[in-house]
Amino acid sequence: MSSSIQEVQEYMHAHGMPFKGKILIVASSPAISGQTGWPIGFWAAELTHPLHVFQEAGYDVEIASTEGGKIEMDGFSNPMDASGYSAHDVISLGYMQLDWFNKVLDNTKKLSEVDAQNYDAIFLVGGQGPMYTFRGNHHLEGLFAHFYEAGKPSAAVCHATALLLEAKKEDGSLLVDGKAWTGFASAEEEFVDKAVGQKIQPYWIQEEAHKLPNTTFKVASPFISYAIQDGNLITGQQQNSGAAAAKMVVQQLNK
């Protein structure tokens, strides 16, 4: 066990709460946007807010990434970014002050090294990176489907739901076949594009989801907390929905 993971566990157990189980969080490794040329990665609040929920509920957490090693948060999601876009995010800001948290971000487990048998649930973190690093990632598709078909809580938020556009079950059918789910809405993409002054994403998840047969993609008003639970598939609309989705994971595990 690495020292950084030991420190995470020691922090959790400092509350005196008994160990309940282990949850795998998966974030995007650093990438470059083909649209903007910007460095991209994971959205801070979509990792820290669920992490806080899981730790407060007594669950151990391990963070993996598509390539392993150091992961980077999207600039606009950093509460210390000059833009001030996420200056309100005191949970992310708090975690960023902790040495063990920064060590974990520097040393994530590579996806190919993950053994699903060691975890009770999976939680996919969004951000700009997953639009490139999650969709079409057959290893991650297979891992997520393995959790799902084993009946374990299987969650994805925001742009991480791009994975669900193509992820298939063992029988070859889409994982979202017959399911209700959500993800980053077209209205939210439009808002961001206008704010920045250019097209940010190579495609919009809601538009792509509506092309799929026999699935129901639902969205709420832009940027409100909204999560859907359909069986053990749990999805959150955007960065303000991570805690809501995480609480659904905990509720299922506590049963």
**For the domain that residue 145 is a member of, what is the CATH number?**
3.40.50.880
Cα(114)–Cα(212) distance, rounded to whole angstroms? Answer: 30
> By percentage, how much of the chain surpasses pLDDT 70?
94
Q: What is the 8-class DSSP label of residue 217?
A: E
The number of domains in the chain is 1
- Determine the 3-state secondary structure of 180 from DSSP: strand
Token pair for residue 44? 């801070």
Q: What pLDDT band is residue 17 in, cutting at 50, 70 and 90?
A: confident
Give pLDDT tens digits for 235-245.
999 999 999 99
Q: What pLDDT band is residue 7 in, cutting at 50, 70 and 90?
A: low
Closest C-alpha among 59, 96, 60 to residue 77: 96
Give pLDDT tens digits for 115-165.
999 999 999 999 999 999 999 999 999 999 999 999 999 999 999 999 999
What pLDDT shows up at residue 19? 80
Q: What pLDDT band is residue 12 in, cutting at 50, 70 and 90?
A: very low
Q: Does 28 score more than 70 pLDDT?
A: yes
Q: Does 37 score more than 50 pLDDT?
A: yes
Kind and range of the H or E run holding 64: strand 59-65
Angle, CA 94 vertex, CA 91 and CA 98 arms, to 5°: 135
Q: What pLDDT band is residue 18 in, cutting at 50, 70 and 90?
A: confident
What pLDDT shows up at residue 206? 98
Q: Does 250 score more than 60 pLDDT?
A: yes
What pLDDT shows up at residue 13? 45
Q: What pLDDT band is residue 2 in, cutting at 50, 70 and 90?
A: very low
Q: Quick one: average pLDDT of 91-116?
A: 96
Q: State how beta strands 154-157 and 180-181 pair.
A: unpaired
DSSP state string for 103-119:
HHHHSBEEGGG--GGG-
Dihedral (CA of 32, 36, 37, 41) sign: negative
Helices (H) and strands (E) in the chain, counts: 9, 11
Question: Whole domain around residue 194: which residue ranges?
Answer: 3-254
